[in-house]
Chains A and B, each alone.
Chain A
Amino acid sequence: MENRTDIKERIAAIEPSAVWSDAGDGMFKVPVTSFRGLAERLRNEEGFDFLRSLTGMDWGEEGLGCVYHLENTATGENVVLAVADPDRENAGMPSVHDLWKGADFNEREAYDFFGIKFVGHPDLRRLFLRDDWKGHPLRKDYDESLNPLNMENEDTSDEAPSYELTRDGSYILRRHPLFEDQEYVINIGPQHPATHGVLRFRVSLEGETIKKIDVHSGYIHRGIEKLCESLTYPQTLGLTDRLDYLGAMQNRHALCACIEKAMGLEVSDRIKCIRTIMDELQRIDSHLLFIACLCQDMGALTVFFFGFRDREKVLDILEETTGGRLIQTYNTIGGVQADIHPDFVRKVKEFIKYMRPKLNEYHEIFTGNVIARQRLIGTGVLSREDAISFGATGGTGRASGWACDVRKRHPYAMYDKVDFKEIVLGNGDCFDRYMVRVLEIEQSLNIIEQLIDSIPEGEWQMKVKPVIKLPEGSWYTAVEGSRGEFGVYIESRGDKSPYRMKFRSTGLPLVSCIDAISREAKIADLIAIGGTLDYVVPDIDR
């Protein structure tokens, strides 16, 4: 962020037609014709290797388009680009899937929601909705009566459409087969215990070896982003807990922080401190559940019971203050719902004392287990370059050696005041992804320990107006969720409800890299790979 003026000048030098607009966080508006050239320069010469978020947009008369959030992982520079195509009927934009692999699924999502054709994208199918869905639901002119409940079984298309642009501006649609005739394709999901929710894979096999995976998601797509557009800001808070329910606190923290940033509201130290502690408790809860489920999938049922035994302790603490076990709805705009319970500090301390020795139990029973090690070490290797390119943040990215912790990259709340280690391992295999999470529980305990004795006095809810209106502009705020960078992008037109609200899913990049890392692995390893990637399906589908 420090070099903002610098990158602004550099972009102005590369592409004079890019216009800087200052509303909110500020962004460059780039004409659609010169976007591809600028993107290539930014990726290859300026080192912007991480596509944080890609947001499809419907700007009304300005047309359809996308907002790209880019980051240079070496220098920490950030830049936001907005590209619009005024032709609403036949909106098209150059694809950047070859520059950032993470753009692949994100562009499919934008096509699904807005009908933007990404020229050069090799597989522009719908990502979430049925193939026979009419219209594009996140457009402002979408008519809901077009799509009544259809109980016919969905036909799976075996063809990947792609669009090419001709000189006169029309599109040529080409279709490529997804699988060859002789390929043996099996179907896993949507109802399968090891997909952790309703996710569907079509796996092409040669013997036991995986040749290709085709991911189908959207079985739990609830259209939360569209719902948010018709809700007031305080009302939108209710839906974030249900995105990634194992990161309910952090999700809501991100949304509250984004709205507070747009309002120009600084919260008191007490609120920051409570939020930090709650985030870390939630992270411990999530990581325990991760260990429990991974081990259950791999047949170690004892660890499942251990994980849930310890997790219930965290839930007890959360429940006492917030009233909820899983969905806490605790953070509010400018504060938290209620002050911490009088017993909170004592119970958290007891829990820390209880939890530290328990971690050894997991190591004894699972980490050192011969079968577990043989199945985890060396399988599903994700390289550092791929992790950045896919945008696979969180434990998965850190297991690949990418220091991607938002708590360190863009410190928020109390994270710049506490001392903790960012766990970064280097092998990028299933075992490292497992170890990162176990070690992170320890770090979370450290963070809580440093804060719990010195929760500052002060208000737990700042004074805010009853009707919250944000000024015109756009904002992006990210927090470190339980499984990666969870970001919120808000575009406001001065109303009491957002014009567009986008959640950067932590799980979508994780599931988009599953094809790349599972190739040449055995079918049985897919369970370990899926388990260690640690995605939550309702978070992918939103």
Chain B
Amino acid sequence: MKRNVNIKSMKYEDFNDNEYIEAMLKELRDNGTNVIVGCLDDVIEWGRSNSLWPLTFATSCCGIEFMAIGAARYDFARFGFEVARSSPRQADFIMVAGTITHKMAPVLKRLYDQMADPKYVVATGGCAISGGPFKKSYHVVDGVDKIIPVDVYIPGCPPRPEAMLYGLMQLQRKVKAQRFLGGLNKGISEKEYERRMREDTNKTEDYNEYDESGLA
């Protein structure tokens, strides 16, 4: 069955990079889906993509623009992003808005780990993408993709609110092109995902002694 990734307010052709969406859709079609499961999936993804809840996470300048898209002029409530959660347990995606430093990196990783699957990461601004103007610093992580997997990159310093909305619409499209039932929804193969998860847990040797007192 044919899945669509249309966003109501913007034409498919108006998006700049449709290739990766096409690739994801092709993968879906190649694997084949049962009609009933496929239809159900479609409905679930429609709901999910229109109610993505961000984690209120901002370290610097980009955070102010994130607040600006929450306010009346840009109003991300039009797309269903308005329920910004302060607890990672209730958030769907984390918008890494600002520079990530060496001291912050373990905290960010921990926040990401605390979020419930399915979860997404949006790297906002030059600092989160590559370290930006602080790339050469002794205390800045050059790119959050070194720590956590990133789904959408939004360049700019800081990105304009319109750019942020465009990036978030890309995330919606990505969600729409995924499978929810009977599969995984990370845009990578099941085996690859399992391998990564296992690798992740094996890294923490003292897993049993992991201090959960700070977790919400």
Q: B101 touching A222 by the CB < 8 A rule?
A: yes
Q: Which B residues contact A (CB, under 8 angstroms)? A: 56-61, 63-65, 67-68, 71-73, 86, 88, 98-99, 101-107, 109-111, 133-134, 136-141, 146-147, 157-158, 160, 214
Q: In whole angstroms, what is the CA distance A538 to B58 when docked? A: 11
Interface of A is mostly: loop
Checking A149, A150, A223 against B134 with a beta-carbon cut-off of 8 angstroms, the contacting residue is: A223
With a cutoff of 8 Å between Cβ atoms, the chain B residues found around residue A154 in the complex are 103, 106
The winner among B71, B88, B140, B147 for most chain A CB atoms within 10 A is B71
Can you name the residue of chain A whose Cβ is closest to the Cβ of B69?
A308
Q: A538 touching B61 by the CB < 8 A rule?
A: yes
Can you name the residue of chain B whose Cβ is closest to the Cβ of A192?
B86
User: Quick one: which of A290-332 are within 8 Å of B by CB?
Assistant: 293, 304-305, 308-309, 312, 325-327
Can you name the residue of chain A whose Cβ is closest to the Cβ of B98?
A220
With a cutoff of 8 Å between Cβ atoms, the chain A residues found around residue B73 in the complex are 308-309, 312
| Contacts A/B (CB < 8 Å), 21 sampled | A129-B102, A144-B138, A150-B105, A150-B106, A151-B105, A152-B106, A187-B214, A197-B59, A219-B103, A221-B139, A222-B99, A222-B101, A230-B136, A238-B133, A242-B60, A305-B71, A308-B67, A308-B68, A327-B61, A327-B157, A538-B99
Q: Given known contacts A245-B61, A308-B73, what 18 new A-B pairs fall within 8 Å (CB)? A: A129-B139, A137-B139, A149-B141, A150-B106, A151-B105, A190-B107, A220-B104, A224-B134, A239-B133, A245-B64, A293-B67, A304-B71, A308-B67, A309-B73, A312-B71, A325-B158, A325-B160, A327-B157
Number of A-B contacts (CB under 8 A): 124
Q: In whole angstroms, what is the CA distance A304 to B72 when docked? A: 10
Q: In whole angstroms, what is the CA distance A44 to B97 when docked? A: 47
Tell me, rounded to whole Å, the shortest Cβ–Cβ distance linking A388 to chain B: 30
Q: B106 touching A147 by the CB < 8 A rule?
A: no
Interface of B is mostly: loop
Tell me, rounded to whole Å, the shortest Cβ–Cβ distance linking B196 to chain A: 15
Can you name the residue of chain A whose Cβ is closest to the Cβ of B157?
A327
Residue A153 CB within 8 A of the other chain? yes
Q: A223-B134, A242-B133 are in contact. Are A151 and B147 (CB under 8 A)?
A: yes
With a cutoff of 8 Å between Cβ atoms, the chain B residues found around residue A305 in the complex are 71-72
Q: Which A residues contact B (CB, under 8 angstroms)? A: 128-130, 137, 142, 144, 147, 149-154, 187, 190-193, 197-198, 218-224, 226-227, 230, 238-239, 242, 245-246, 289, 293, 304-305, 308-309, 312, 325-327, 537-538
With a cutoff of 8 Å between Cβ atoms, the chain B residues found around residue A193 in the complex are 56, 86
Q: In whole angstroms, what is the CA distance A500 to B23 when docked? A: 52
With a cutoff of 8 Å between Cβ atoms, the chain B residues found around residue A190 in the complex are 104, 107
Q: B133 touching A153 by the CB < 8 A rule?
A: no
Q: In whole angstroms, what is the CA distance A242 to B111 when docked? A: 25
Tell me, rounded to whole Å, the shortest Cβ–Cβ distance linking B68 to chain A: 6
The winner among A151, A191, A193 for most chain B CB atoms within 10 A is A191
